[in-house]
Amino acid sequence: MLDNFFSPIYNSTAELSTYTYVICSLASLLFGAIIAFASGFKSRQSKGFLLAVLLIPVIVQMVIMLVSDSVGAGIAVMGAFSLVRFRSAPGSAKEIVSIFLAMASGLASAKGYLGLALVFVVAVSAIMMLSTVVRFKETDDMQRDLKITIPEDLNYAHEFDDLFDKYTKQAKLLNVKTTNMGSLYKLSYRVELRDEDEVQAFIDELRCRNGNLEIAIMLPPVEERVL
């Protein structure tokens, strides 16, 4: 029975019937809906992108059904698909996976492998949603931007080294600038914290060194990773 589930619903060498075309098209729309739901699950995606993912499977299915008997036309279609990547804005890794998943489901649907496509789409979509729910702790999660204001007579070169060794895994001085007519320095560091629960103690000890002047710890600017 499992072999029948993964078998094509029609013979690709035979003439395509209207009934078969409608069933494959409805299946492609279902696959697109599942992928669109997984792509937008607990993440911000534009309406245009979700609509594109919804329709890509049925469009790919239609194209492949039309060129299935022509090798030359198939190669031309593959070249056209390759241009889509270079004529679009860079996307995140999740968006690229969603687009390729939509195209793969459309190809499987065009060949009649609806059972195989359904299992594949559901499995990959479930993994995508699971990766959104389960947050893997990364090194970047502990990185912070630290800004310290100090008086001009304080030698900042090694003044905070012992505190950095105690509360951070690494610290790098990014920027130094003067303020208040040159009577104060503003130091900007990129640090990697050892423990988020010790941030307050870290700030308190820094305040004892800089004369209780302004100190700020904040998340670094978000840089979206694209492919």
User: pLDDT tier at 124 (50, 70, 90 boundaries)?
Assistant: very high
Q: Does residue 35 carry a pLDDT above 90? A: yes
57 closest CA partner among 125, 124, 128, 121: 121
CA atoms within 13 A on the CB side of 213: 17
Contact 24, 114 (CB under 8 A): yes
Q: Cα 80 from chain centroid?
A: 25
Produce one character per residue of 175-186: b if its CB has 16 or more CB atoms within 10 Å, e if not: eeeeeeeeebbb
The mean pLDDT value for 14-41 works out to 88
Would you state the pLDDT for residue 131? 83
Would you state the pLDDT for residue 225? 52
Report DSSP letters for 98-166, one per residue: HHHHHHHHHHHHHTT-HHHHHHHHHHHHHHHHHHHHS----GGGGEEEEEEEEETTS-TTTTTHHHHHH
Contact 92, 45 (CB under 8 A): no
Give strand pairing partners of 193.
Answer: 168
User: pLDDT tier at 160 (50, 70, 90 boundaries)?
Assistant: very high
User: Where along the chain do the CATH 3.30.70.240 domains lie?
Assistant: 139-218
Would you state the pLDDT for residue 75? 60
* Rg of the chain (C-alpha set): 28
Q: How many helices (H) and strands (E) does the chain have?
A: 8, 4
Read off the pLDDT of residues 174-223 as tens digits, 9 standing for 90 and up.
Answer: 999 998 888 899 999 999 998 888 999 999 999 999 989 999 999 887 65
Would you state the pLDDT for residue 71? 54
The mean pLDDT value for 87-102 works out to 76
C-alpha dist (Å) from residue 104 to 64, 71, 127: 11, 19, 16
Would you state the pLDDT for residue 77? 64
The mean pLDDT value for 109-115 works out to 88
CATH of domain 139-218: 3.30.70.240
- Tell me how long the chain is: 227
Mean pLDDT score across all residues of the chain: 83
Question: Would you say the pTM of this structure is higher than 0.95?
Answer: no
109 closest CA partner among 32, 50, 17, 14: 32
Would you state the pLDDT for residue 156? 86
Q: Is 227 exposed, middle or buried (0-12, 13-18, 19+ CB in 10 A)?
A: exposed
Q: When comparing pLDDT for 166 and 88, which is higher? A: 166
